[in-house]
Amino acid sequence: MKFTALAVVAVAALSLSACSTASPSSPSAASDKDPFTFVYMAGISGAQATQAAQELQGVQIAMDEINASGGILGRKIVLEKLDSKSDPTVAVSVLQQRLASGTKPDLIHTAIASTEALAVTPVTTRAGIATYAASSSILLDDPKSYPLNKLISAPTPSFVSAFKAYADANRYKKIELLVTEDASGDSIVQTIADLYKGSDAQIHETRYNAADLDLSTAFQRAAGDHPDVIFTTCQGAPCSRLVAARTSIAGGTDIPMVGDAAMSALAGGLALESSKESLENLHMIIFDVQLKHPESEQTPEFKKFLSGISSLGGTLNFSSATSVAYDGLKMFAAAAQKAGSTDAKKMVKAIDDIQWKPGDFVSYGKAALDYSSKSVFPVIPDSAFAIVQVAPLVDSQYEPIDLFQPKTQKR
């Protein structure tokens, strides 16, 4: 079975972009002899700082590979960084300043958080610039509004479908959504509602503010509904606080909890920052790149990626943030080669036209992705994800554990 992103009218996107109604001055276009300007914009500081550092590692590996092979159509990639400070309003401001003050970028990484991507993508679209990001909100899946945007991360329905398969296998009927008060949380709630439409499952939601230092109250509200399972979403530091909150009430860790893929992006893994008690019955969805495979099963593209990480001299950390940023830049380089042009429209069309082979994308292992003009997201097969028990990493990856077996709850 394949998971496809849902086409949604992005009402939230329009409201979020209201702060960016003033169009920036049109930047001058680069010539074919100029470097290929790639702007990385994200929360280099603030709540997404850890993930941004991981993404920049992936960007650097991809740049080194591409530039060593002659660049993109002979143009060497140069990197510019813009810090959104993990704030959508700041993101729009710094982007407008950049577009008003220099040569037009060839490609922009717009954001990590969906709220930022929804705020800035209307600006980049008006400026005629190709974009990609790791954001997964279905509110971004609007090719008519964002024709130059191609996302490499999995859409929310992919993660939620993986969770639903897990919940169905364990016969969970009372499902609690513990999600953020933002576009990411909205996307989870809408997708769950769509997937469970017509079923006898009972769905309840609890929202939390990711800026709160103590998330015990939010977790206690969620646990108070006596669910069979809690499905949650978090990014960065709030993940550790959310997991710690499970010990705030007696029996809190008896309730199975599953986090979406963003939970797995913490450097070193959640187990590094969490107590053993708080990890009981805690699972999360991960990308294939984070699952430990024998060397004989590793794809050539993964081995090249691994070599790039080693060349940077950094600590091995197979975060999806690193691999998605790497895959996105490599994807656009391949698209430019296919199109014979770095024109934004031609590159995006080439992404849809390329017959992507299994293993082309490091993040998804041997899974074959498929792009089309009907979605900004790729179509992703179910083999691209795994659900693992949160535990200490082994060689910076997670050991495969079969979680699709019915479990008896302690409660």
Position 80 pLDDT exceeds 50: yes
* 258 or 270, greater pLDDT: 258
pLDDT at site 404? 53
Question: With 80 as the cut, is the pLDDT of residue 28 above it?
Answer: no
Listed in sequence order, the residues at least 6 apart from 224 whose beta carbon sits closer than 8 Å to its beta carbon are none
DSSP symbol at 44: S
pLDDT of residue 318: 66
The residue that leads in pLDDT, 314 or 33, is 33
The pTM of this model reads: 0.80
Provide the residue ranges of all domains of the chain, joining segments of one domain with +: 2-154+300-381, 156-291
Domains 2-154+300-381 and 156-291 equal at CATH topology level: yes
Q: What tokens does 104 get?
A: 């037009």
pLDDT over 50 at 198, yes or no:
yes
Percentage of the chain with pLDDT > 70?
87
Contact, 175 vs 202, CB < 8 A?
yes
Q: Which CATH class is domain 2-154+300-381?
A: alpha beta
Q: How many CB atoms lie within 10 A of CB 270?
A: 24
Architecture category of domain 156-291 in CATH = 3-Layer(aba) Sandwich (3.40)
| Whole-number average pLDDT of the chain | 85
Mean pLDDT computed over 375-384 = 86
Contact 134, 112 (CB under 8 A): yes
* 25 pLDDT higher than 70: no
- pLDDT value at 99 more than 90: yes
pLDDT band at 307 (very low <50, low <70, confident <90, very high): confident
Q: Is the pLDDT of residue 2 over 50?
A: no
∠ CA 152-156-158, nearest 5°, is 80
